[in-house]
Structure 1
Amino acid sequence: MRRHAFVIRCGMFVMALMLCAVGVRAADAPADLAVLIREALEKNPEILASQARLEGARQRVPQAESLPDPMLSAGYQNMGFERYSYGEYEFSQWMFEASQTFPFPGKRSLRAEASRKESESLGATHESVRLKIVLRVKELYYDLLLGYRNLDLIRERTALAVRIEEAALARYATGSAGREEVMTGQAEKYLLLEREETERRRIEAIESGLNQVTGRPVNAPLGRPVLPAPTPFPADLEELVRKTETHSPELASRGRMLDAARARETLAKREALPDVTFTAGYANRAGGFRDMWSLSMGIPLPIYFGYKQKPGIAEASAGVSASRFELEGARTMLLSSVRENLAAVRSAERLMALYREGLIPKTRQDLDFTLAGYLGGKGDVAPLLTRLKALYDYEFAYWTQFTEREKAIARIDAVTGTGNGTQGDTGK
């Protein structure tokens, strides 16, 4: 009897140490979703890189719109090779020329328009990157929330398992239960301790991911997530489709790329039209010979039109077609994602109601009845542990559906371009 009591005390001591370790982490300042999102938007390397690319793209617009650099040339013309003949002969002279090329009207504006649309596309892409990072923070946050909630459930189940083990030992001491019943109760307790350690390791991995996406040091403490209220989500599919087509940054980016491709197609058709180069020259003479000046104009001859400009037009037209198909493909993919995630939201709501209003209270009532009987010396341990496991499974499934619903809403917000808040904005 003393040996069994010692085993109980040792087991409870080990459990207390492990639960205290969890309590130390949970004692940190609570992890706030809004703060994490704000930090990610300010420090995430992917967002910062996207911002830098956008700034670079904006600098291409004035480059595309500017004139070609003017040319300045200087030279000397000498009569014969015997000596420097400047001032002795009429055609011995120093020559200076300046030239400027003017693209055919419309080319510069088309180049600028194409570059501007490309920079606008990158601007929409940058917004899409921000939304995806916000989505990633939300997904990790709700995974962390589920991990801590699972720890709570495991600890509650472990406390009941300890009571069951104590009752089994008491019954074994009086001869009303066999050793197998005691070992079954102890095995359940140690199995739960193993699950607790596994869940703690999973929480560590999630916290590491959150620190990475928010730009924090890898070992920065996060604390336990604050449990938010379920996000209101009255939106229907028709409304979400409209928001996606109107506000989605990914569709906006594809649309701007299509506009840029059309501008480049128009530009390609104008490439055969000649640019004009004007040249002004001045010749300086000495020895009584009068100085000279000159004006000239030059244009390129598109004699290789079939090898240069014509294939360029075909290439630009193919680019327009590709951009159009990419836009349609992106629209189809995003609308499919919206429908899929909306179905996930509604399914999670139905399952949560089933667990909350039916399975969990019924199973808890059944467990309480069976536990009271077992503690009173009636029944066997196996049905009791079965009911204990069923209650844990249903409660864990409820919180799993809670987090899956929130993550599905976050994915819809990212697709529809309304995901900058701490909770879903769609339908509000």
Structure 2
Amino acid sequence: MSEGFGNNDQVEVRRVAITGIGVIAPGEPGRDAFWSLITSGGSAVRRISQFDPSSFRSQIAGECNIEDDGIVIQEFGDGEDLSAVDRSIRLAVAATDEALGDAFDSGYETCSTSDRIGISYGSAVGASQRMVELYDHFTDGGKYWRCPLGDKNEALFEGLLPSTLGACLADRYHVNGPVAIVSAGCTSGLDAVGQGAAMIQRGESHIVIAGGTDAPLLPITVASFDAIKATSPSNKKPEEASRPFDAKRNGFVLAEGAATLVLEDLEHARARGAHVYAEITGFARTTNGYHMTGLDNEGAELADAISKALLKAGIKPEQIDYVNAHGSSTQQNDVHETEALKKALGEHSRHVPISSIKSSIGHSLGAVGAIEIIACVLAIAENLVPPTINYEIPDERCDLDYVPNTARRAVINGALSTASGFGGFQSAIVIENPKRRDEII
């Protein structure tokens, strides 16, 4: 099964511009700090500080250096206090404030009650942190099965619903248009941006707030990944634990974060004199129906998603100048992705620079796909490929150019970002320099 968007011969579609970006990634907050970290070869992975991880197999994570009271707290909607919502929503708000401030001089006040403004946001585990905290509080650490009835525990219900994220963002930014929440595991952030672009192409919105967020650093999440041995146990040297495509990789590093992109109809953006960073020109997703957590080594479904995204963008593999790989640092995924790139890009796969920024910031589940799209946008803007750090020992099964350890200068007019998630979800998106796109069209 596959799905995507892009140009075709029958229907003229609107072009999708990226006019604002905001990032709250592991390390210091903000897009400038994020870009500096991933291009300098730094790492934001450390021992978990949000709770005592001593009893767990994997005790490390990519943590954002931003306390809850460091995220702007304002009342929104009917006066609800932002401090009462889950950290994942607060991270999303911080990223979105930055993105809208980047796109519009007046920030989020630009988003009025227009029904042409929409939201498409992704999250893998939603407001689980707040829900667990509240349940623990109201049941005296799980001593009671049922919470006592009362107004103060209604937030438990809000924590249960993935739509709470969309409702909070819509309230804060005065959005009355379409709001969609995507929860497809680790592809959620990328899928939400692709879906937001499709909303513009179909004419549903002329501006879409798109991105992904997750704050999964709590015991139950760490325990869940421990149970299937998906995360790295390299606790003694946290900054070296995430090592995509390296022969000694032993699992991914859990992380938190959020990223927002302001997507806009290109004609609308140019009419108001907006700065256009890049365009989203192709998106596709597939599923493999293979296994809940396992992957085969062939990469056929991811290759199919990549090929469809290129087809919808109307470009050849040779026009991709950089691949931002999912590169999770698990044994299975990195082999699977390498094979998929070979199938989809052919001989070009051996020449194009490929890197995984998860080596620096870890894997923030439903957020990381959106964060990686912003890495592509900045790579196009700066003509700089961020490296895959901690790459020391080549794996004969992963034999492409992974830009080891040091950033590389390159002319980047077209970038490809991929995502792969438990359950067999496979996604790909194409981001291009608008000047080249003008020439193509």
Q: TM-score, normalised by structure 2?
A: 0.18
Higher fraction of strand: 2
Larger radius of gyration: 1
Normalising by structure 1, report the TM-score. 0.19
